[in-house]
């Protein structure tokens, strides 16, 4: 459910619906329909009806495996299967001129063991005349160096984020951590990682 308080929120919701409606790929969470919900106290909200992913999100599964003693690492065949599915989904949305801009393990859902890309709430649609974006947006742990440096970025920024998800699948922890946003950004831009 998306709150529709401001005109900006309304435009963002309309873009998300338009984006979801045109996506049709086995590794992308399927959009079914949307409707407006009126609440006297809260105002108007947009409700999206998406395919149900009974397996939850990848972040929850990674956390469950990391909490086991000893840690229960995923097998290489499983990681490769999910990685190929995520790569194919990302290739598909990029072929439609769409930057996801918030690719992270919380936005990858599991349905019958199949990884599906979802949550297109902050997408950027690039038309033929625009080949990069410059708004700093996304989840800090998955930001590319270009985004951290407030430089223009393009599809490769999503690929960087996918690499961060791959690291997380293999290591059961995020590649970049820190006590605050600045510390995370510094590590992404300056640090090398094992």
User: What is the SS3 assignment for the chain?
Assistant: CEECCCHHHHHHHHHHHHHHHCCCCCCECCEEEEEEEEECCCEEEEEEEECCCCCCEHHHHHHHHHHCCCCCCCCHHHHHHHHHHHHHHHHHHHHCCEECCCCCHHHEEEECCEEEECCCCCCEECCCCCCCECCCCCCHHHCCHHHHCCCCECHHHHHHHHHHHHHHHHHCCCCCCCCCHHHHHHHHHHCCCC
The count of other CB atoms within 10 Å of the CB of residue 14 is 13
Q: Is 39 noted as a catalytic residue in this protein? A: no
Residue from 24, 39, 57, 102 carrying the catalytic annotation: 102
Residue 46's nearest CA partner among 7, 100, 6, 10 is 10
Gap between the Cα atoms of 151 and 78, Å rounded: 35
Catalytic residue IDs: 102
């Amino acid at each position: 459910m998306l709150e529709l308080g401001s005109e900006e929120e309304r435009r963002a919701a309309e873009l998300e619906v338009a984006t979801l409606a045109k996506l049709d790929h086995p590794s992308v969470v399927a959009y079914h329909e949307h409707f407006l919900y009126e609440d006297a106290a809260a105002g108007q909200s947009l409700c999206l009806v998406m395919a149900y992913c009974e397996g939850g999100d990848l972040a929850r599964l990674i956390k469950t495996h990391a909490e086991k003693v000893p840690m229960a690492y995923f097998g290489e065949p499983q990681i490769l299967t999910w990685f190929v599915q995520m790569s194919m989904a990302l290739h598909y949305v990029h072929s439609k001129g769409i930057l996801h801009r918030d690719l992270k393990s919380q936005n990858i859902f599991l349905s019958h063991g199949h990884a599906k890309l979802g949550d297109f709430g902050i997408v950027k649609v690039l038309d033929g005349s625009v080949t990069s974006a410059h708004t700093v947006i996304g989840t800090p742990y998955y930001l590319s160096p270009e985004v951290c440096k407030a430089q223009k970025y393009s599809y490769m920024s999503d690929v960087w984020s996918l690499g961060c998800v791959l690291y997380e699948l293999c290591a059961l922890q995020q590649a970049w951590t820190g006590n605050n946003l600045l510390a995370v950004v510094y590590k992404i831009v300056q640090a090398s990682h094992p």
